[in-house]
Amino acid sequence: MVQQSTGPLSGLLVADFSRILAGPYATMLLADLGAQVIKVESPGGDDTRTWMPPTRDGVSTYYLGINRNKRSVALDLKEPADLAAAQELARRADVMIENFRPGGLARFGLDYDSVAASNDRIVYASISGFGTGAGRDFPGYDLMVQAISGLMSLTGDPDGSPYRAGISVFDVMAGLHANIGILAALRHRGETGRGQHVEVNLLSSALSGLVNHSSGYVAGGTVPFRMGNAHPSLFPYEPLPTADGELIVIAGNDGQFRKLCQVLDLPGLPDDPRFGRNQDRTANREELRPLLVQRLAQRTKDEWFRDLLAAGVPCAPINTIDGGVALAEELGLDPVVAVGDVPGVRNPITFSDTPARYELPPPGLDEHGEEIRAWLKS
């Protein structure tokens, strides 16, 4: 049943006992890079199969977006034959990923200690919401973590309500952190022959991913609050109005600000002591903003975008998703790939010798169940 594929992770067998987003996203990326991923689902299937709209041919595009290059088997762990199959899969796997509540797989003999007893080379990755201590029984939903971590306090208008991010940002981040841990553990296994338990939780991923904001509190004692689209440490670094709409304008350093002023025909601003250095511009943003806006209002956002970018000033139109895909296509990034008859977003990593593969469309529930069960009995 196990088929060799191309890619840097070719030959790696991944038992995917995860569902929803963080785990399936992680395993899809591993599968793109050549790992053989067997997706173990309950008889009812991964929850995201029912998360719709939108759909493609009646199938949730949420599910389609994070499950390509996998084989599906539906196993009821309360049934002895299915449980035996799940345990045998874990025994054969190089990597196992799960996001049950901490301790939830112990009663099935599928927790790390039980699996490692028969497979000491296993790299076993657990993804939880709040770790295995006092937060072990908290349900691990991204929106909860956005609220608890402080992200929502940073998102929205200063005088408005807190907002969640437009995507499940910490699920995605935790999936990426899990993959970093898995690859590091595989490197260690290559040297020692021993696997290990890799643990990731959404709250820790969130606090790490809040980077300058969490550092500002931990190292500087500063509790940040939402500033709309403004940045606490840079200006300009936000949308500014033009003749026909807003344009993101960025001066990440003093040289970029000087270039911005050259294009806007404001040559005196970089030498003004209020604006010459980034910390000065940030402190005096309310004086600087109207000077920039007055000039930007004289032309359209597309005209400024072309000229500012040509001068080396970071700027961007505020697109909808279709515009983002279109620009990526225009830039030759080939963002859309065909996986069978299902379009998907290209794996973001490019390799010079071992490119990502796109061989299997997202599987139907238990699509490969008969084949997988027969292989596990052989």
The answer as to whether 221 is a domain residue is no
Asked, for residue 344, whether it belongs to a domain, the answer is yes
> Which DSSP helix (H) or strand (E) runs through 74?
strand 70-74
Q: What is the CATH number of the domain that holds 169?
A: 3.40.50.10540
142 labelled catalytic: no
Pick the catalytic residue: 32, 94, 171, 366? Answer: 171
Residue 71 lies in a domain: yes
Q: How many helices (H) and strands (E) does the chain have?
A: 14, 13
Residue 3 lies in a domain: no
pTM over 0.85: yes
Cα(171)–Cα(308) distance, rounded to whole angstroms? 35
Q: Are residues 67 and 203 in the same domain?
A: yes
Total domains in the fold of the chain: 2
Question: Is residue 267 located within the same domain as residue 364?
Answer: no
CATH code for the domain of 272: 3.30.1540.10
Pairing of strands 315-317, 246-250: antiparallel
| Strands across the sheet containing 13-17 | 70-74, 36-41, 13-17, 95-98, 123-128, 196-201
Residue-by-residue DSSP string for 220-281: H-------TT--SS-SSEEEEE-SSSEEEEE--SHHHHHHHHHHTT-TTGGGSTTTSSHHHH
At residue 2, the pLDDT reads: 55
Assess whether 274 and 370 both reside in one domain: no
Q: Count Cβ atoms below 10 Å from residue 13 Cβ, excluding itself.
A: 15
Cross-strand partners of 344: 337
CB neighbours (10 Å) of residue 126?
A: 27
Per-residue pLDDT of the chain (378 residues; tens, 9 = 90+): 656 678 999 999 999 999 999 999 999 999 999 999 999 999 999 999 999 999 999 999 999 999 999 999 999 999 999 999 999 999 999 999 999 999 999 999 999 999 999 999 999 999 999 999 999 999 999 999 999 999 999 999 999 999 999 999 999 999 999 999 999 999 999 999 999 999 999 999 999 999 999 999 999 999 999 999 999 999 999 999 999 999 999 999 999 999 999 999 999 999 999 999 999 999 999 999 999 999 999 999 999 999 999 999 999 999 999 999 999 999 999 999 999 999 999 999 999 999 999 999 999 999 999 999 999 999
Task: Please check whether residues 254 and 136 belong to one and the same domain.
Answer: no
Residues 18, 65: one domain? Answer: yes
